[in-house]
């Protein structure tokens, strides 16, 4: 797979934005009650919405690989390294790759995508994060950590995050559509 210089720059820039946002929220967390607020899902779907499926997924892959090789780019301890795959929430990070791909693919299928297409694409991207993250969380809690947690309890616990993620998807749709219209490179 070949990339142009422009494509490599866009992928690297989006991966760097993801890393910077994770680091900022590590030092300045925003918490509503007991729910920590993170912009990482927002950036993941935005990557797909702006860069498209292929480049968006690559940008999130670069971000994940940066963390797995040991760069401290993840939002929670241990911040990086291969040991991060043992964290129950690592599936959500893998979901960022899927989110960028899914949101980019949905937008790509419509030549002149309207705001509704962008909203649906971003919501589908958010759903992809949960489709990857929830089973991983369930398996890690039940098999690796030995906690007997029913799947429905995990879903109930995730409900506050899902509400915020719907709002993030709506904002991401507006931002992505605006950026794509301004760049007019699609």
Q: What is the CATH number of the domain that holds 106?
A: 1.10.1760.20
34 pLDDT more than 80: no
Report which of 158, 184, 177, 150 is spatially closest to residue 46, judged by C-alpha positions.
177
Cβ(104)–Cβ(54) under 8 Å?
yes
Cβ(62)–Cβ(116) under 8 Å?
no
CA 163, CA 168: separation in Å to the nearest integer? Answer: 9
User: How many independent structural domains does the chain possess?
Assistant: 1
pLDDT at residue number 185: 53
Joined tokens for residue 27 = 């030092």
**Span 36-47, pLDDT tens digits:** 678 999 999 999
Q: What is the mean pLDDT of residues 90-100?
A: 97
Give me the chain's average pLDDT, please: 91
- The parent domain of residue 15 ranges over 5-183
pLDDT at residue number 181: 85
Joined tokens for residue 117 = 């297409």
The pLDDT > 70 percentage for the chain reads 94
> Per-residue DSSP letters for 106-137?
HHHTSTT--HHHHHHHHHHHHHHHHHHHHHHH
């Amino acid at each position: 797979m070949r990339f142009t210089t422009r494509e490599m720059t866009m992928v690297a820039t989006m991966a760097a934005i993801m890393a910077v946002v994770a680091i900022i929220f590590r030092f300045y967390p925003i918490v509503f009650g007991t729910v920590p607020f993170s912009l990482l899902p927002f950036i993941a779907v935005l990557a797909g919405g702006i860069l498209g499926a292929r480049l968006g997924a690559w940008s999130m892959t670069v971000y994940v690989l940066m963390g797995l090789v040991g760069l401290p780019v993840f939002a929670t301890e241990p911040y990086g390294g291969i040991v991060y795959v043992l964290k129950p929430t690592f599936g959500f990070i893998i979901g960022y790759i899927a989110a960028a791909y899914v949101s980019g693919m949905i937008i790509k299928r419509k030549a002149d995508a309207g705001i509704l297409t962008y909203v649906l694409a971003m919501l589908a991207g958010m759903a992809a994060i949960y489709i990857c993250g929830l089973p991983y969380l369930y398996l890690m809690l039940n098999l690796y950590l030995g906690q007997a947690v029913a799947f429905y309890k995990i879903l109930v616990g995730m409900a506050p995050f899902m509400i915020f993620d719907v709002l993030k998807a709506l904002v991401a749709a507006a931002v992505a559509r605006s950026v794509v219209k301004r760049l007019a490179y699609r």
